[in-house]
Amino acid sequence: MTSTPTGQGQGRRAEVVLVYQSLLGIYGDRGNATVLAKRLAWRGFDAVLSLVEPGDPLPDTGDVYLLGGGEDAAQISAVNALRADGGLHRAVDRGAAVLAVCAGYQIVGRSFTVADGPSATAEGDTEIVGLGLLDVTTTRGPVRAVGEILSRWTGRDGDEQWLTGFENHGGYTVLGPGASPLATVEVGVGNCGDGTEGAVAGTVVGTYPHGPVLARNPALADHVLELALGEPMSALDRPEVTELRRQRLAAVRR
């Protein structure tokens, strides 16, 4: 079965901006952009996917911006380029939504640490100033968090839902008073082993799971779109998406 456009969008333009795929694209998080574009198109929007690389000006006119996972050196390059560009901050100030995954999540926080470097601490880490879009700080954790993660999220309709994904991060993230947890962990490490996963402030969402996370969790995808467009998303009937979600939930519970 396939869904026909619901007509909600009526051809309105909606822009999804994939940020620095060459730096923040090693875990398949580009799939989040594909998911959002498809879910927009299924609802009758004119979905535009813009790919922006370092050196290109980041448009501040997008509706939702996506940052993915990357290694230490790429993470530093990305945060420096985004700070110098300023487009992401202007977009958020305008009301655009951001979904930042793993390294992207750390980048949009206040600070994060990487191994070694000229200003390394006695523990061998260097603190890097983040973009400050989320009130979170990240330092190196005692053990690397690797494996399936299952968490509970109070969804966009106020109903509790399960979120699944695959976490793979050495950084442990602590939330400040200006951010709220995205979800509560049932299986896995999440932010720092404190029972929380991800962070939310306004239209900015940070999370650790890959998968890509929006392919596994369509309700979260629609929540990001609602943050971006400022309106509820109409229901979609996609049996293949429902089946993927059922399989992943069953796998992580085994």
Q: What are the residue ranges of helices labelled H in the chain? A: 31-42, 72-85, 87-94, 103-107, 213-216, 218-229, 239-253
Beta carbons within 10 angstroms of residue 124's beta carbon: 12
Given the residues 169, 192, 210, 223, select the one marked as catalytic: 210
Given the residues 102, 169, 192, 223, select the one marked as catalytic: 102
CA distance 102 to 106: 6
> Which two tokens mark 65?
């911006």
Q: Is 192 a catalytic residue?
A: no
Q: What is the DSSP letter of 254?
A: -
> Which two tokens mark 150?
């299952």
Chain-centre distance of CA 129, in angstroms? 19
Q: What are the residue ranges of helices labelled H in 68-192? A: 72-85, 87-94, 103-107
Which active-site residues does the annotation give?
102, 210
